[in-house]
Amino acid sequence: MRWSIQRQLLAPMLLVVVVSSVLSSSVSAWVGSSWARREETDRLGRVVATLTDVSFPLQERVLQKMAGLSGADFVVWDQQQLVQSATLPLDDSSREQLKRVPETGPLSDLSRNPTLVIQGRSYLTANVPLRRTGTRPLSLLVLYPEDRWWTATRGAIVPPIIAGGVTALIAVVLTTWWARHFVRPIAQLSRQSEEIANGVFQPMQLPTRDDELRDLTQSINRMVEQLTRYEQQVRRNERLKTLGQLGAGLAHQLRNWLTGARMALQLHVRECPLGTSAESMEMALQQITLMESYLQRFLKLGAGRNEAPRPTERKEVSLPLLIDDVLSLIRPRARHVGVELEWSPPVSPFVVVGDREELQELLVNLLLNGIDAAVQSNATARVRIELDRTDIDQVRLRIIDNGPGPNASIAAQLFEPFVTDKPEGTGLGLAVAKQILETHNGKLSWRRDANETVFEMELPAKQDVVESASELHLQ
């Protein structure tokens, strides 16, 4: 049988509240009834004491006045049990009953004395001797209506019982409300856990109270964030794995086609006079080489994490010369779409150690990305390249375009694979660029500066060039 937390809280609390109210009401009722009985007995006892101490005869007129004061009836009789005076009419049956009342002495709790029914009414009785000197012994029979006695008692019992019942009812309502209010966040946590189990990773709103439930909610929200990141990573890995599997199947055919195209161009160069088209043919061969390199990088991105990285040959690379070579490759495309390329080679050397092919691919990806963005500009489309130093041992390369910038919906995941706002894009260019820079101990970032988008790369400079630049700086 399921026993909910709300019931576990309510059952003992309500039991304690109800038992406490019952005990409190019972004690109050008992004390009140005892006090009411004592009050009635004391009031009647004062009247009886007055009657027993008087020296004049207790005639019926006197007894009637005392009966009005006390609410009791009185009968005076002598030693032979003959009625001398009384406040109520007595028949033979009533006299016989009165004769059976024993002498009780001073009044105490009337409820302990004998009860008589006279003329259809029940009375509590007492037989008190009258203290007289020089006269025959007399007794005073006190007849107190039992209904009057219990009415006074009930008047003292009922209010505490009603107060206790109302208090218990209010306590039950408040306890039930509080238990539901306390259990509500737990129920929300339970629903959130079910949603997490169903794959819906949404954080919960934190409770306003700073307590253990708030700590538990924060822990669940942290777990949701971790599961979200894990799910994204799993999906990313699955996409990369699928990419690697597809790429492995296409790699052989693509290499064959590129090799055939290269051989056809080289054969054409040998057999046909080139003249002024030599530069175009050389550029076509460079584009094929670049395509092969990009294919290798594309396939490497989809490779498993446990695979050994492809060994690369790290050499000194002059960034100004590398930029000149890359610009010679992409200028035809820039002219075709109407984008101006701005580049002023610096005088000082900017040499880094790395894989020239990888760095070339990095620049090609970023420049093509900038060209595609600049085409959407309302002004003259422009891409600018700047090269300087952030520090003596750090080289900074900026590629700046005056395009509208990335869409806000993907700005935070711009360097993630398959994230793009281009209808024809794959979302791999910036991911490949970031991967290349990380393998060269560099950093890649982007920002919007006024109406321009700036992609900024930082690379460590070659050590001896750093020392030379430091000496020039000191001079």
Nearest alpha-carbon partner for 405 in 466, 348, 463, 447? 447
Q: What is the per-residue pLDDT for 36?
A: 77
Contact between 145 and 67 (Cβ < 8 Å): no
Which of the two residues, 413 and 80, has the higher pLDDT score? 413
What does residue 422 show for φ and ψ, rounded to 5 degrees? -95, 130
Mean per-residue pLDDT for 65-72? Answer: 83
Q: Model-level pTM? A: 0.48
User: How far is the C-alpha of 21 from the C-alpha of 16, rounded, in Å?
Assistant: 8
Most confident of 96-110, 318-332, 407-421: 318-332
> 255: pLDDT confidence band, cut at 50, 70 and 90?
low
pLDDT surpasses 70 at 81: yes
Q: Which H or E element spans position 323?
A: helix 319-337
Mean per-residue pLDDT for 395-406? Answer: 92
| Helix, strand, coil content of the chain in percent (nearest 5) | 60, 15, 25
Task: Please give the order of strands across the beta sheet that includes 83-86.
Answer: 83-86, 73-78, 138-145, 121-129, 115-118
What does residue 401 show for φ and ψ, rounded to 5 degrees? -125, 155
What does residue 23 show for φ and ψ, rounded to 5 degrees? -65, -45
Strand partners, 143: 73, 125
Mean per-residue pLDDT for 436-452? Answer: 90
Distinct helix (H) and strand (E) counts, the chain: 10, 12
pLDDT surpasses 50 at 5: yes
Burial class (CB in 10 A: 0-12, 13-18, 19+), 152: middle
| Domain range 5-157, CATH class | alpha beta
Q: Average model confidence (pLDDT) for the chain?
A: 78
User: How far is the C-alpha of 115 from the C-alpha of 117, rounded, in Å?
Assistant: 7
Mean per-residue pLDDT for 216-243? Answer: 80
Strand partners, 145: 123
Mean per-residue pLDDT for 100-115? Answer: 72
User: How far is the C-alpha of 199 from the C-alpha of 228, rounded, in Å?
Assistant: 9
Q: What is the per-residue pLDDT for 311?
A: 54
User: How far is the C-alpha of 140 from the C-alpha of 107, rounded, in Å?
Assistant: 11
pLDDT surpasses 80 at 372: yes
User: How far is the C-alpha of 409 from the C-alpha of 416, rounded, in Å?
Assistant: 13
Mean per-residue pLDDT for 45-58? Answer: 77
105's CB contacts (< 8 A; 6+ apart) are: 128, 129
What does residue 419 show for φ and ψ, rounded to 5 degrees? -105, 115
Q: Hey, what amino acid is at 382?
A: R
pLDDT surpasses 70 at 327: yes
Q: What is the per-residue pLDDT for 473?
A: 46
Domain 315-474, second-level architecture: 2-Layer Sandwich (3.30)
360's CB contacts (< 8 A; 6+ apart) are: 290, 293, 322, 325, 326
How does strand 73-78 pair with strand 83-86?
A: antiparallel
What does residue 414 show for φ and ψ, rounded to 5 degrees? -65, -30
Q: What is the per-residue pLDDT for 474?
A: 41
> 414: pLDDT confidence band, cut at 50, 70 and 90?
confident
Contact between 416 and 360 (Cβ < 8 Å): no
> 163: pLDDT confidence band, cut at 50, 70 and 90?
confident
Least confident of 73-77, 103-107, 263-267, 386-390: 103-107
Mean per-residue pLDDT for 283-312? Answer: 59
Whole-Å CA distances, 287 to 80, 116, 301, 341, 344 = 148, 129, 21, 19, 24
168 is written with which tokens?
Answer: 């218990």
268 is written with which tokens?
Answer: 């054409």
56's CB contacts (< 8 A; 6+ apart) are: 62
Nearest alpha-carbon partner for 356 in 318, 307, 408? 318
Burial class (CB in 10 A: 0-12, 13-18, 19+), 270: exposed
> 343: pLDDT confidence band, cut at 50, 70 and 90?
very high
Q: What is the per-residue pLDDT for 276?
A: 46
Nearest alpha-carbon partner for 362 in 326, 406, 314? 326
> 475: pLDDT confidence band, cut at 50, 70 and 90?
very low
Contact between 87 and 64 (Cβ < 8 Å): yes
Which of the two residues, 320 and 391, has the higher pLDDT score? 320
What does residue 125 show for φ and ψ, rounded to 5 degrees? -120, 160
Mean per-residue pLDDT for 440-460? Answer: 91
User: How far is the C-alpha of 419 from the C-alpha of 410, rounded, in Å?
Assistant: 7
> 247: pLDDT confidence band, cut at 50, 70 and 90?
low
Least confident of 60-64, 228-232, 298-302, 423-427: 298-302
